[in-house]
Amino acid sequence: MTKKKEPFKPLVEGKVSMFVCGITPYDLSHVGHARAYVAFDVLYRYLKFLGNEVEYVRNFTDIDNKIIKRANEAGKTVESLSSRFINEFSLDMDELQCLPPTREPRVTEHIEHVIELITKIMENGHAYAIEGDVYFSVESFPEYLQLSGRILDQNRAGERVAMDTRKRNPADFALWKSAKEGEPFWESPWGPGRPGWHIECSAMSAHYLGHVFDIHGGGKDLIFPHHENEVAQSRAAYPESEVKCWMHNGFVNKDDQKMSKSENNFFTIRDIISLYHPMALRFFLIHTHYRSDVNHSDKGIENASQRVYYIYQTLYDCEEVLSKYRQEGISIPVPDKKHILVEQHHLHFLEYMSDDRKTTKVLDENC
């Protein structure tokens, strides 16, 4: 929020609360997803390594236009389609050695919390209902766009294309969407419908971590509108709401072009790990600082692959030498000089990792 590097101090010493926006499970996850979740897995592991107890919540947006569309095309229920891709995602995360978060809630299990939150926002005069839809009124919230640093007029231009004339301001966004035919719905005070996209993260983060928590993460494409809207919703309902530290990871580009489905230059995690060791992908991703864009190229991943094999080969060689001594019950003294070298590496590791996670330096110095 301050756009500055600041010392990180958890609200409660030794405990860290972290929320990271999860996937919308309607297809196999791509390298961009791997990028985000590996980046936050590194953070999660490092915070734990430093002795913190970490409450790490990552959600699943298991109700969404894309899921409904895919489910209808495939003749499946929304629930079965999203469950299938949640499962596929978990397999990918295992392959990439991303630890499971402490909690992985699904929005469909938290509709009551979403309704409670929207009710509170309306009571405080920051939202209005029209024909079963509920919109957040951006003009009622002067802090809007503080996170992204945008100005309201910029958004208006972008919104004109699909302008909903019922909205008081084109930038107002949906908290609740009235049910359309053939779509799953839940009963609410505004009629049957389902949550808008942004509200779920405000509802679930508050439910699991409270109104004030330490870290909120996600890809930088989520800064606007998703996280901006989260801030607005949470604070409009409970003014004390605060995220102590926002962290956003960079994109994945392909040969210096942004990787996207429309450009047809994107890869799924499965595409890559069918060709390379999953650790090669992990190495490749963390070799770039988490806030910078990663440039995906065959050469880059090939290099990562070679370095991962070098690590495994070294471990294997060491084990081969050491096992002979172990078998014979001979203790192996560690020479002082070596010990100092290990100590130095360890100190550098701590220094780099504690300075905004300089994983590139860690890997370059040690691997």
Q: Is 21 or 206 the residue whose CB approaches Zn ion more closely?
A: 21
Alpha carbon of residue 279 to chain centroid: 19
User: Closest separation between CB of residue 73 and Zn ion, Å?
Assistant: 25
| Segment interacting with Zn ion (CB under 5 A) among 16-24, 34-42, 80-88, 354-362 | 16-24
Task: Between 21 and 68, name the residue whose CB sits nearer to Zn ion.
Answer: 21
Residue list 306-345, contact with Zn ion (CB under 5 A)? none
Specify the residue, 170 or 196, whose C-beta has the smaller distance to Zn ion: 196
For residues 147-176, which are near Zn ion according to CB under 5 A?
none
Nearer to Zn ion, 21 or 71 (CB): 21
Instruction: Please calculate the CA angle 226-228-230 and round it to the nearest 5 degrees.
Output: 70
Q: CA nearest 134: which of 145, 119, 146?
A: 119
What is the Cβ-side half-sphere exposure of residue 243, based on CA atoms within 13 angstroms? Answer: 24
**Sign of the CA dihedral with 218 first, then 222, 224, and 228 last:** negative
Does residue 138 interact with Zn ion by CB under 5 A?
A: no
At residue 339's C-alpha, the angle toward residues 333 and 340, to 5°, is 155
Q: What is the DSSP string of 37-102?
A: HHHHHHHHHHHHHTT-EEEEEE-B--S-HHHHHHHHHHT--HHHHHHHHHHHHHHHHHHTTPPPPS
- Give the binding-site size for Zn ion (rule: CB under 5 A): 2
**Shortest Å distance, C-beta 195 to Zn ion:** 12
Between 29 and 288, CB nearer to Zn ion: 29
- Cβ proximity to Zn ion: between 204 and 281 the closer is 204
Would you state the structure tokens that stand for residue 308, as one six-digit string?
């991962």
Strand order in the sheet with 15-20: 53-58, 15-20, 212-219, 242-249
Least distance to Zn ion from the beta carbon of 311, Å? 34
Out of 16, 18, 21, 111, which residue is the one contacting Zn ion (CB under 5 A)?
21
Q: Which of residues 195-224 bind Zn ion (CB under 5 A)?
A: 201
Residue with smaller CB distance to Zn ion, 21 or 36: 21
CB of 26 to Zn ion, least distance (A): 16
Least spacing, CB of residue 82 vs Zn ion, in Å: 16
- Single out the segment in contact with Zn ion by CB under 5 A; choices: 18-26, 136-144, 176-184, 356-364: 18-26
Coil, strand or helix: which one is 246?
Answer: strand
Residue 362: helix, strand or coil by DSSP?
A: helix
Q: What is the CA radius of gyration of the chain?
A: 23
Q: Is 231 in the site for Zn ion (CB under 5 A)?
A: no
The secondary structure of 296-310 as a DSSP string is E-HHHHHHHHHHHHH
**Which of 13-21, 68-76, 109-117, 175-183 is the region at the interface with Zn ion (rule: CB under 5 A)?**
13-21
Residues that bind Zn ion (CB under 5 A): 21, 201
